[in-house]
Amino acid sequence: MKQRPVRGTHDIFGNEILKFNKITQCVRDIADRSSFNELKTPIFEFSSLFSKPLGEQSDVVLKEMYTFEDRNNEFLTLRPEYTTPMIRAAISNNFLNDLPCKLYGFGPMFRRERPQKGRYRQFNQINFEIFGSNDPYSDVELIYLANCILKKLLPDLNLKLNLNTLGKKEELNKYKEKLNKYFNDNKEKLSDESKEKINNNPLRILDSKNENDERISRLAPLITEFLSKESKDHFVEIKNSLTQLEIPFVENANLVRGLDYYCHTVFEFKTDLLGSQDTVLGGGRYDGLISILGGADLPGVGWAAGIERLSLLMQDIKKEVNDIHIAIIDKQYKLNLIQLTNYLNINKFTFYWNYKYNLKKSLSKANEMNAKFIIIIGDETFKKELYSIKDLTTGEQIELSLENIKKFINDKS
């Protein structure tokens, strides 16, 4: 039987792998300069790590988690996101004794969503988190880093930064009560999907993409009437800092995010180039989450970006050509081949040999691959303990001993 990949998963190769590597390199450079430490956590965790913190009524928990019972009757889940595992790891490894704790990481996440362009069941995220600071500058620093990474990877695109505040948990809860009443009063005009959310998750109706829902949401009460002075000041400081940093943003009162743990600042960088999967990067503040997971009562803030979505938006990357092609015309010269490849490797040249003992085939492969030089190991040169090297740009051909090859190539390059 011909095997096929599981729906919603994909193999990463060719230009996509070049983009993935460029993304991880760019993130590492920027994270290292700002003293974020890299963390890798296991791909599966106990299911209880996710169900309550992400929200028992959230789509992720209700429909999308890959959960299975282990042989010792424990329920495990393939991680659907990275914030809760990072907090779990910070608690397990005592990182929270030294605050603020700044972490970043990459890796695969799993959500059983309906696959489409930019939406997969296994996808990769970049994640940044700061635990232990409620200084608005920690929100700003994270948005600033996100902006730097996006500008570096997508220099020609203007992703739109959407910003909102949800206030403190108690302010948000009062707001939810008011929304619940408002949407109940307008229940008949809402889509079936939104009707189901009125009682358990009225906030999510605000970001519904259904036209009727949008119309009702436009007239819905705003969080601002429930915000304390402290919450308002936190948000104003963030907006002022972003303006000073010349990072443009739009305030979007309907931005609520899909996971339940958020409070205060929430943000998303959006594009209109990916159809309905328009969010490339999203995050916000989650004060209270660390204590729910068994840690001290500490604030936290962070974001995640989808690597596949970034890669879909990036320009193709030109693969570097192999500098040198090797042609060997007979098996008896294999020892010279081994010495040559060892020499080229030590001197950091890229090279290629196609396991064919045939000069003609090697030459045509070298042309096909746009090699700059071909080194031929043949009868004549073998007797003289030399290698014949041809500059494929100029056609110049010369016989050299092994130790002179580097100088010849460097002089020509």
DSSP string, 169-231: HHHHHHHHHHHHHHHHHTGGGS-HHHHHHTTT-GGGGGG---HHHHHHHHTS--GGGG--HHH
Beta carbon of residue 219, minimum distance to ligand HAM (angstroms, whole number): 26
In this structure, the chain runs to a length of 413
Indicate the helix (H) or strand (E) that contains 77: strand 75-78
Minimum distance, C-beta of residue 27 to ligand HAM, in the bound complex (Å): 14
Restricting to residues 287-306, which ones interact with ligand HAM according to CB under 6 A?
Answer: 302-306
Comparing CB distances to ligand HAM, the nearer of 270 and 390 is 270
Question: Smaller CB distance to ligand HAM: residue 123 or 373?
Answer: 123
Give the residue with the Cβ less far from ligand HAM, 121 or 372.
Answer: 121
Q: Any contact of residue 16 with ligand HAM (CB under 6 A)?
A: no
Span from 77-85, 157-165, 216-224, 245-253 in contact with ligand HAM (CB under 6 A): 77-85
Whose Cβ is closer to ligand HAM: residue 141's or residue 349's? 141
Q: Binding to ligand HAM (CB under 6 A): which residues in 223-262?
A: 258-259
Residue 69, judged by CB atoms within 10 A of its CB (0-12, 13-18, 19+), counts as exposed
Output the smallest distance, CB 283 to ligand HAM, in A.
4
| Residue with smaller CB distance to ligand HAM, 128 or 175 | 128
Near ligand HAM by CB under 6 A, which window of 124-132, 205-213, 318-326, 397-405?
A: 124-132
Measured CA to CA, the distance from residue 106 to residue 127 in angstroms comes to: 6
Amino acid letter for position 34: S
Using DSSP bridges, classify how beta strands 397-400 and 387-391 pair: parallel, antiparallel or unpaired: antiparallel
Q: Does residue number 132 form part of the binding site for ligand HAM (CB under 6 A)?
A: no
Pick 263 or 305: Cβ nearer ligand HAM: 305
Q: Which of 59, 113, 237, 323 binds ligand HAM (CB under 6 A)?
A: 113
Smaller CB distance to ligand HAM: residue 299 or 306?
Answer: 306
Total of residues contacting ligand HAM (CB under 6 A): 27
Full DSSP string of 28-69:
HHHHHHTTPEE----SEEETHHHHHHH-TTSHIIIII-EEEE
Q: Output the CA–CA distances (angstroms, integers) from residue 391 to 340, 343, 363, 376, in the order listed.
A: 17, 18, 12, 11
| CA–centroid distance for 348 within its chain | 30
Nearest partner of 19 among 129, 144, 152, 147, judged by Cα: 152
Residue 83 engages ligand HAM in binding (rule: CB under 6 A): yes
| Minimum CB distance to ligand HAM, residue 105 (Å) | 11
Residue closer to ligand HAM, measured from CB, 273 or 392: 273
Report helix, strand or coil for 300: strand
Give the footprint of ligand HAM on this chain (CB under 6 A): 81-83, 111, 113, 118-120, 123, 125, 127, 129, 258-259, 279-284, 302-306, 308-309
